[in-house]
Structure 1
Amino acid sequence: MSLHRGPGADGARSPRLSVNPFLQEAFPAAATAEVPPRHRIPDAPIAPETAYQIVHDELMLDGNSRLNLATFVTTWMEPQAARLMGECRDKNMIDKDEYPRTAELERRCVSMLSALWNAPVDHGVGCSTTGSSEACMLAGMALKRRWAKRNADRYPAARPNLVMGVNVQVCWDKFCNFWEVEPRLVPMEGNRFHLDPQAAADLCDENTIGVVAVLGSTFDGSYEPVADVCAALDALQERTGLDVPVHVDGASGAMVAPFLDPDLVWDFRLPRVSSINTSGHKYGLVYPGVGWALWRTHDDLPEDLVFRVNYLGGDMPTFALNFSRPGAQVAAQYYTFLRLGREGFRAVQQSARNVARSLAERIDALGDFTLLTRGDELPVFAFTTTDPNGPFDVFDVSRRMRERGWLIPAYTFPPHREDLSVLRVVCRNGFSADLADLLMEDLRTLLPELRAQSAPLDRPRSVATAFHH
């Protein structure tokens, strides 16, 4: 094989390879005569296998998603589900006239979730979305529109507000920013790391469009007390006449609690809960991205938010933000509901919770760490170092475990607990007891080195690791 020069990506000279044709068969990327440009479209096409190999090789440098204990997103599905998604990836979910069976699968999923969450209507009121972030936007829009209609004599002069805990997912901050709603945040206090019901009620006034309660905080995996929040708002209405609805952000917990905690009342059984969202691509066990937004009744979703579009020969109601997205994830969600059933979901989620509890107990037994949660609500737990003045901190642990392929986020809590930095482990379908054993083995191996440090490494906390919702 000889090496000579040829034009590069930006006019510079780049290596050109004269390649043995037998080598091209063995390694397709060797067939390209030039290094392809990275920041502009190439002038000429290359063979599909060559293009695949180039992209495939770059992506090998990504982290292993199965070892990513930061993300809540599904990282494993059965091959039949993946094959089904491949068959549907060219279908535009919004084109219900052209793809009526895909639309029917969406309708069935909404109906299934409506029954799972005990809505008082047949078939359900809701839609699929690209994820919980879009679902939250839709739910927030419905809350604001209902408030605006009730206060038509004061709006838009009066500024609406939304009450929630400081631990909410960032999509709620985006909602308040995009739709000009004042966020009223209940801070963390002491060992309370999520929303306090009475504190939430105290922040409500005549301009409050709703209260957001999170079923499964991304900071520590704990459920917020939805029933207690509703009770505090019931008392507020008795005193003041203010009728404040509740939205449950069940991005993760709405697909865990119905199967593992059936006696926990958090859903449409509470009359004050007007809407719920979840991520199908989290504990709904589907690859990203699919989410679901559901409302208690048709009255809870203002009709003027529903658009009826004459598109490709059909009249279709739509109230999603995105107008073009693949139907593959919806088909995969229906497959998962059909494939597992309630018993299957219960078994999968119980397995994840068992792994989380067992792993939390073993980490607690090491003596170097203190648990904040134990994985007994979401299959998620958070922990910090026992000695705040010890030789290592959570950021050291995160960094050293990353060297072994494990992605475990370390982050600082929000106001008023900025003093607290923690590690968080998310146990999902596919994170087996065997993988948990390997994690513990690596952590035990690293601990003697961490204990031997004179002090935690001095570095900017902002670059130590990222916080993952």
Structure 2
Amino acid sequence: MSPNFLVCWEKFARYFEVELKEVKLTEGYYVMDPVKAVEMVDENTICVAAILGSTLNGEFEDVKLLNDLLVEKNKQTGWDTPIHVDAASGGFIAPFLYPELEWDFRLPLVKSINVSGHKYGLVYAGIGWCIWRSKEDLPDELIFHINYLGADQPTFTLNFSKGSSQVIAQYYQLIRLGFEGYKNVMENCRENAMVLKEGLEKTGRFNIVSKDKGVPLVAFSLKDSSIHTEFEISDILRRFGWIVPAYTMPPDAQHITVLRVVIREDFSRTLAERLINDIKKVLHELDTLPSRVTAKLTGSEEMTSENNGKTVKKTTIEVQREITAAWKKILLDKKTNGVC
């Protein structure tokens, strides 16, 4: 989201309540369940938000299913609950890679969409926008009317006066590249993401937790993190010039840690192959080192520890959470990690 969008989010939220989403963990993916989300809708729900391109693994949420379920619920209840689509990343990807995917104003309940031009719009940071299906869908209370030099100047943001360089840059990119140009860029990003994914799979050491259909990124985790963790890989990769964030998944899946590589237009196939080779070097280095946090579990699903003289059994998930917490503390103390 652009700074403009963020600065008026508090006011925006009074009209478009982001519904707390029910989620489920399936096959390693953390996604919204549209069925359970719609079940949570009541007479006080102003809007249901869907994400087209999750920050965690790049996944597209099923806006079409959400729309169809809400249409039926609105018919039954007489409500008119709409949908807002957070397409900060996916808004510049889906139209070019997946034109058949229905997520936008083709769906009757989608009333507003926000997009970030500074991500896959190929413009430097600071440009983004929110658009509405019609003027009637944007409450007038959200608009600031400014009497400027004798004329009424309506604005949706709190920053009335600001530089226009990002808008000009976005306009230039749109007319320079056009639909075919953006399509070529996004197809190339997807192909390079597949090169990276296949290279990681060939090592036999990682599970891929991102999907092929979504934002061109690769999110992956170690198959065996009982000795060394994703945080160690992220830390050592910095010596090779790579900043690859490692982070835990949201609540109820915090024991899962992933690394994430976002593929942009300047991430070439050569860079993808170089990153694969550097990850192999990191794995080889870690294999020669003893565990810095815990010893490897040897054929048992439980570990024990002493607590006030009593033996406490721990499951592998509990151990993994302790490992994750320990490495997060180490890296946060060094101020060398984070999701960007």
Q: TM-score, normalised by structure 1?
A: 0.61
> What is the CA distance between 1:307 and its match in structure 2?
2.3
Matching residue of 2:5: 135
The corresponding residue for 1:383 is: 220
Other-structure match for 2:242: 406
Q: CA deviation at 1:386?
A: 0.7
**Conserved in 2, the CA contact under 8 Å of 1:401 and 1:408?**
yes
Measured in 2, the distance between the counterparts of 1:305 and 1:140 equals: 11
Give 1:220 deviation, angstroms.
0.2
Counterpart AA for 2:99? P
Question: Following the alignment from structure 1 to structure 2, what is the Cα–Cα distance between the partners of residues 196 and 135?
Answer: 27
Pairing 1:278–2:145 present: no
Aligned partner of 2:165 among 316, 328, 353: 328
Q: How far off its partner does 1:424 sit?
A: 0.6
Runs of 4+ in 1 over 3 A off after TM superposition: 131-134, 136-145, 456-460
Q: Letter of the aligned partner of 1:135 in structure 2?
A: F
Please state whether the residue corresponding to 2:114 is helix, strand or coil.
strand
| Aligned match for 1:230, one of 61, 64, 67 | 67
1:206-355 equivalent positions in 2, closer than 5 A? 206-355=43-192
Alignment check: 8 A CA contact 1:247 1:276 kept: yes
Segment drifting more, 445-454 vs 208-217: 445-454
One-letter amino acid of the structure 2 residue matched with residue 366 of structure 1? T
Which residue type is aligned with residue 205 of structure 2? Answer: D
- Paired residue secondary structure (1:384): strand
Q: Which residue of 1 aligns with 2:339?
A: 468
Matched, 1:426 2:258: no
User: What letter matches 1:193 in structure 2?
Assistant: Y
Q: In the TM superposition, what whole-angstrom CA distance separates every residue of 1:154-176 from its partner, at most 9, and x where no partner exists? A: xxxxxxx531xxxxxxxxxxxxx
TM-score computed with the length of structure 2 as normaliser: 0.84
Q: How far apart, CA to CA, are the structure 2 residues paired with 1:138 and 1:239?
A: 34
Query: Structure 2: how far apart are the matches of 1:273 and 1:138?
Result: 21
Work out the CA distance in 1 between the residues paired with 2:10 and 2:194: 34
Q: Deviations over 1:333-389 (max 9, x none)?
A: 000001100000000111111111110111011011110114432101211001132
For the structure 1 residues 342 and 139, does the alpha-carbon distance in structure 2 shift closer, same or farther, using more than 3 Å as the test? farther
Give the Cα separation in 1 of the matches to 2:85 and 2:8. Answer: 13
Shift, 1:143, TM fit: 6.6
| Structure 2 match to 1:397 | 233
CA RMSD of superposed structures (Å): 2.0
Q: CA deviation at 1:233?
A: 1.2
Q: CA deviation at 1:315?
A: 2.6
Deviation track 1:156-201 (CA, whole Å, cap 9, x = no partner) reads xxxxx531xxxxxxxxxxxxxxxxxxxx242443434121101111
CA distance in 2, matches of 1:463, 1:380: 26
Q: Residues 120-179 of structure 1, C-alpha deviation per residue, up to 9 Å, x if partnerless?
A: xxxxxxxxxxx446436757845744x7xxxxxxxxxxxxx531xxxxxxxxxxxxxxxx
Give deviations 1:400-431, integer Å, cap 9, x for gaps: 10111100000000121111100011000111
Q: Which amino acid aligns with 1:162?
A: V
Query: C-alpha offsets along residues 37-81 of structure 1, whole Å, 9 cap, x if unaligned?
Result: xxxxxxxxxxxxxxxxxxxxxxxxxxxxxxxxxxxxxxxxxxxxx
> Quick one: which amino acid aligns to residue 238 of structure 1?
K
Aligned to 1:108: none
Q: Distance in 2 between matches of 1:396 and 1:446?
A: 9
Q: Which amino acid aligns with 2:270?
A: D
CA distance in 2, matches of 1:242, 1:325: 40
Cα gap change, 1:257 to 1:400, in 2 (>3 Å): same
Question: Mind listing any 5+ residue stretches in structure 2 that lack a counterpart?
Answer: 294-322
Q: Report the counterpart of residue 18 of structure 2 in structure 1.
A: 162
C-alpha distance 245-194 of structure 1, shift in aligned 2 (>3 A)? same
Q: Distance in 2 between matches of 1:132 and 1:187?
A: 26
Identity level (%): 41
Return the index of the structure with the highest Cα Rg. Answer: 1
Using a 3 Å threshold, how does the CA distance of structure 1 residues 141 and 276 change in structure 2: closer, same or farther?
A: farther
- 1:48 corresponds to: none
Kept in 2: contact 1:132–1:291 (CA 8 A): yes
Matched, 1:203 2:11: no
Distance 2:327 2:75 in 1: 50
Instruction: State the Cα deviation string for residues 197-233 of structure 1 (Å, max 9, x = none).
Output: 0111111111111111000000001101111111121
- Number of aligned pairs? 304
Q: What residue number does 1:454 align with? A: 290
Aligned partner of residue 220 in structure 1, secondary structure: coil
Question: Does the CA-based 8 Å contact 2:3-2:126 persist in structure 1?
Answer: no
Distance 1:384 1:436, change over 3 A: same
> Which SS does the other structure have where 2:234 is aligned?
helix
CA distance in 1 between partners of 2:6 and 2:83 (Å) = 12
Letter in 2 for 1:468: V
Instruction: Measure the CA separation in 1 of the matches of 2:289 and 2:248.
Output: 22
Of structures 1 and 2, the one with the larger relative CO (CA 8 A, separation 6+) is 1
